[in-house]
Amino acid sequence: MELKSPVRREDLKRFKAGEIVYVSGEIITARDSAHKRILEYLRKGMDLPFELDGSIIYHCGPLVEEGKVIAAGPTTSARMNDHTKELLNYVESIAIIGKGGMNIDFKGKAIYLAYTGGCGALASKSIKKVKDVHWLDLGMPEAVWVLEVERFPCIVAIDIKGNNIYNEVKKKVEENYRRLMEKI
């Protein structure tokens, strides 16, 4: 399956947890500081220098050298839980790429895609171009990079209905653990 930005709510319904999806088109990176600033803008009703609604947000602090992305693996998404919860009040639909999952209610507005942790080199292969960069004053990893990607390989980890692979696995692991502890 393919996902392209801008994403629309109707479109997001196609994706189910556990499916493999290839992301193409424009994505924007944002980690802790960028999320904080995005919210500051939104609360004041200021215009963002990039389109947020319909965007694909990648939780990533890329290593960029002379305008080229060298490595761009995902960072732990749970740190952005609170920010994302508030951000969702200001958009119709978004898609998020990260690692480790998130524990918030997406209110039917977002899906979460997992990209394999540690695979920073491979990610740079899918990134065809740096289209733009905003807020470089936050530092290279924390700035908002607008990237053009092609067939970026991800897994739908949380779908629009809230089905969450991480929670399902966690439940099973707890069961397995209890059973194991009786045995060993």
Q: Which residues are catalytic?
A: 35
Query: Shortest distance, CB of residue 109 to other proteins, whole angstroms?
Result: 23
Q: 117, 131, 150, 161: which one contacts other proteins (CB under 8 A)?
A: 117
What's the one-letter identity of residue 143? A
Establish if 122 lies at the interface with other proteins (CB under 8 A). Answer: yes
182 phi, psi to nearest 5 deg: -75, -25
Which residues from 16-45 bind other proteins, rule CB under 8 A? 18, 20
Which residues from 51-90 bind other proteins, rule CB under 8 A? 61-63, 70-73, 76
Secondary structure of the chain in HEC code, one letter for each residue: CEEECCCCHHHHCCCCCCCEEEEEEEEEECCHHHHHHHHHHHHHCCCCCCCCCCCEEECECCEEECCEEEECCECEHHHHHHHHHHHHHHCCCEEEEEECCCCCCCCCCEEEEECCCCCHHHHHHHEEEEEEEECHHHCCCCCEEEEEEEEEEEEEEECCCCCEHHHHHHHHHHHHHHHHHHHC
Q: 99, 102, 135, 142: which one contacts other proteins (CB under 8 A)?
A: 99
Q: 81, 89, 103, 176: which one contacts other proteins (CB under 8 A)?
A: 176
Nearer to other proteins, 87 or 156 (CB): 156
Nearer to other proteins, 93 or 112 (CB): 112
Establish if 172 lies at the interface with other proteins (CB under 8 A). Answer: yes
Tokens coding 164:
């969450």
* Mask for 125-164, x = binds other proteins (CB under 8 A): x---------------------------x-x-x-------
List of residues contacting other proteins (CB under 8 A):
18, 20, 61-63, 70-73, 76, 99-101, 114-122, 124-125, 153, 155, 157, 165-166, 168-170, 172-173, 176-177, 180-181, 184
